[in-house]
Amino acid sequence: MSYEIRTRKDYSFYDCSSAFQKEIRRSNEKKALFFAFELYASGYSKYIWKRMFVIASEDIGLADDSVAVKLNALYNNWKMINETGANGSSVPFVHAVLILARAKKSRICDHAKIYAMKTNDNFDIPDYAYDMHTRKGKQLKRGNQYFLDHGAKLENEIETHDQFKDFFVQFLHDKTDKKIDDLGYDHRNVVHKTTKDLAKFNKENSQTNLF
């Protein structure tokens, strides 16, 4: 005889979990909270948090990108309160359930997942992908200007008051003309992994009077 997982009020664990997500999808927050807390209070708190993280992408996704971020913050709050042994750990949990229930909904992420996993589409590599970062692009002698014109082209771009774009373009032109190398306009533009690496760099360069 197979063992069936039950909750404190004798609901089937799987039925309760399914009901929770269906009520979230329908924005029935009272019922969603009931089924969520039934699992939470039955010792399945980690499971229900995991389920909510899935829901944040599966049933909300692009309709409100902020939900996934908020959920992660509330989860961290919940863990911190639990670890300190303080009262009130259920409050961030309830907060998360209500956010999910009230959020605008979209199933596009789940539909896109199924497409990505199951499609028989096979796309050709587009010509504009062959820039100087690829072997074929180098063979075609496509340099920085090709990258600026084609490789870095954006669709659906928003205005962000990009104060750095002119510098970026000038940097690529100066690299093409061999006026500078990858370090740019200052030989000290080296990224050091450790302070020991920095000390070694400073010692070597001080001896050659580069500073």
Q: Angle formed by the axes of helices 45-55 and 66-84, to 10°?
A: 170
Block mean pLDDT (10 aa), the chain, length 211: 86 98 98 98 97 98 97 97 87 98 98 97 97 96 95 93 93 93 93 94 75 45
Q: Which of 77, 64, 135, 145 is nearest to 105 (CA)?
A: 64
Q: Residue 71 carries which side chain, given as an amino acid letter?
A: L
pLDDT at 88: 87
Which candidate, 39, 50, 51, 52, places its Cα nearest to that of 11?
39
* 127-181 pLDDT per residue, tens: 999 999 999 999 999 999 999 999 999 999 999 999 999 999 999 999 999 999 9
- Tally of CB atoms within 10 A around 146: 17
pLDDT at position 205 is 87
Query: Longest C-alpha distance within the chain, in Å?
Result: 82
Non-local CB neighbours of 145 within 8 Å, separated by 6+ positions: 172, 176
Q: Are 76 and 65 in contact (CB under 8 A)?
A: no
In the prediction, which pLDDT does 192 show? Answer: 94
User: How much is the pLDDT for 211?
Assistant: 45
- Dist. CA 173–CA 21, nearest whole Å: 54
Q: Domains in the chain, ordered, with CATH?
A: 13-112 (1.20.272.10), 127-207 (no CATH)
